[in-house]
Amino acid sequence: MKKGLLVMIILSLSLGIWLGTDQSRASALSCAGPRPVTEELKVSAAVFRGTLISHNPASDVSQTNYVFQVAEWWKGDMKSSTITLYTNGWESFEEGKEYVVFANKGKEKFKPRLCGNTGLSSRVDTAPLGEGTQPEKPAQPAKRPTTFNILDGLIELIRILQNKH
């Protein structure tokens, strides 16, 4: 009888504790205020200002990427005029808009830093970063002859050969 009473007390207490807790709350990522941009520059692998020129969603979220046309570098591949970032799952970039991006590099892929200063360039004060570096202009590919130019050359060659006979 004592064992039965003890089991009932334990069950009642367990049920009371379970019912008494507030289970309506949900947890989510919460960020503290972002660091000053100069501190974030120190801990980032790449920092640049650029326009999103393409967004390539993938069925495997880890392969979703963003391609930026870089206008100014503060850290990273200072010569490159583009950079590809992979998703961290929390960013919200829109094509055609200009951003200042602070990125980490892991497994050979750049990703925007979580809870950092990445955002629209109009909302990020880059003055403390100083003057950035302009990327090199991409080399223009050599012009290849078009079909029309090749035909013009052949016609001219035929005319020259006809005049010799």
Cα–Cα dist 154/38, whole Å:
62
Q: Is 86 helix (H, G, I), strand (E, B) or coil?
A: strand
> Percent helix, strand and coil across the chain, each rounded to 5?
30, 25, 40
pLDDT at 54 (0 to 100): 96
pLDDT at 20 (0 to 100): 62
- φ/ψ of 33, rounded to 5, equals -60, 145
Mean pLDDT of the chain: 84
Cα–Cα dist 101/94, whole Å:
13
pLDDT at 163 (0 to 100): 76
**pLDDT digit string (tens) for 77-121?**
999 999 999 998 888 899 999 999 999 998 889 999 988 899 999
Neighbouring C-alpha atoms within 13 Å toward the C-beta of 18: 6
Token pair of 137 as six digits: 């202009």
pTM: 0.66
The domains found in the chain, sorted by start residue, are 32-129 (2.40.50.120)
Task: Report the chain (165 residues): mean pLDDT per 10 consecutive residues.
Answer: 69 64 60 89 97 92 93 95 93 96 92 93 96 81 59 74 71
Nearest to 88 by CA among 31, 49, 50: 31
- What's the CA angle centered on 52, arms 39 and 139, to 5 degrees? 100
Q: Is 66 helix (H, G, I), strand (E, B) or coil?
A: strand
Q: Please, what is the end-to-end C-alpha distance for the chain in angstroms?
A: 127
